[in-house]
Amino acid sequence: MRRLLGSLFAIAMIWAIGLFLFIRAVPQASDAPVAKADGAVVYTGAGGARVTTGMTVLARGDVKRLLISGVNPGTSRAQLAEMWPGESDAFECCVDLGLEAQTTEGNAREVRDWTRAHGFTSLILVTSDYHMRRALLETRTQLPEAEIVAYPVESGYFDANGRPASAEAWRQLAFEYSKFLAVRAKTLIAAS
């Protein structure tokens, strides 16, 4: 029994140290333009900050097209158009909606199919700061031939010093870290 408890304690400590390192490695959000790419993709989430950021990337001319992946089927194109910061013609011509994805892995498959259909070789990936590492891992697994640049959006989970801002933030980050570990293990097993 003592050995079992010791092993469980060691696993918990390794996980906690990993969580600390994961939090330190979360990329910081920035409003600065990124390098130009063929396309931009947004992995949707709560609120509209990710979508608005992706639309800004397209409106600035950093990319040719935008895919909003994981759009709720109950959300209309007209509703999303209300968030568009540019000319309406550009929204109609160059914004695609992905309605199939319900998970990050689904987002990555949707992005893979969209990217290959358009013959793109470079992407800007827009998602929340805390979600970026897993999103990149899933997307690069599905689309290893593309150059993918991260464009993290502020989640509100971090204070000014880069620490989790609340108990809820800690919970969300711990959950995200656990999902990241699962994806990392899956990719390592698939590669071997």
Q: What is the pTM of this model?
A: 0.89
Domain assignment present for residue 87? The answer is yes
Residue 76, pLDDT score? 83
Please give the residue range of the domain that contains residue 83. Answer: 27-191
Total domains in the fold of the chain? 1
Mean pLDDT within 110-114: 96
The CATH code of the domain that includes 175 is 3.40.50.620
Domain assignment present for residue 3? The answer is no
Supply the Cα-derived Rg of the chain in whole angstroms. 18
Strands 147-153 and 95-98: unpaired
Domain assignment present for residue 7? The answer is no
Reported as a pLDDT band with limits 50, 70 and 90, residue 97 is: very high
Q: Which carries the bigger pLDDT value, residue 136 or residue 44?
A: 136
Domain assignment present for residue 45? The answer is yes
Domain assignment present for residue 131? The answer is yes
Domain assignment present for residue 179? The answer is yes
Q: Long-range contacts made by residues 42-46, C-beta under 8 angstroms, separation at least 24?
A: 42/66, 42/67, 42/68, 42/69, 42/126, 42/127, 43/69, 43/70, 43/104, 43/107, 43/125, 43/126, 43/127, 43/131, 43/135, 44/68, 44/69, 44/70, 44/71, 44/72, 45/127, 45/128, 45/131
**Angstrom distance (rounded) from CA 185 to CA 91:** 39
Instruction: Look at the block and give the residue holding tokens 């990555």.
Output: 108
Domain assignment present for residue 84? The answer is yes
Which candidate, 113, 135, 137, 114, places its Cα nearest to that of 126? 135
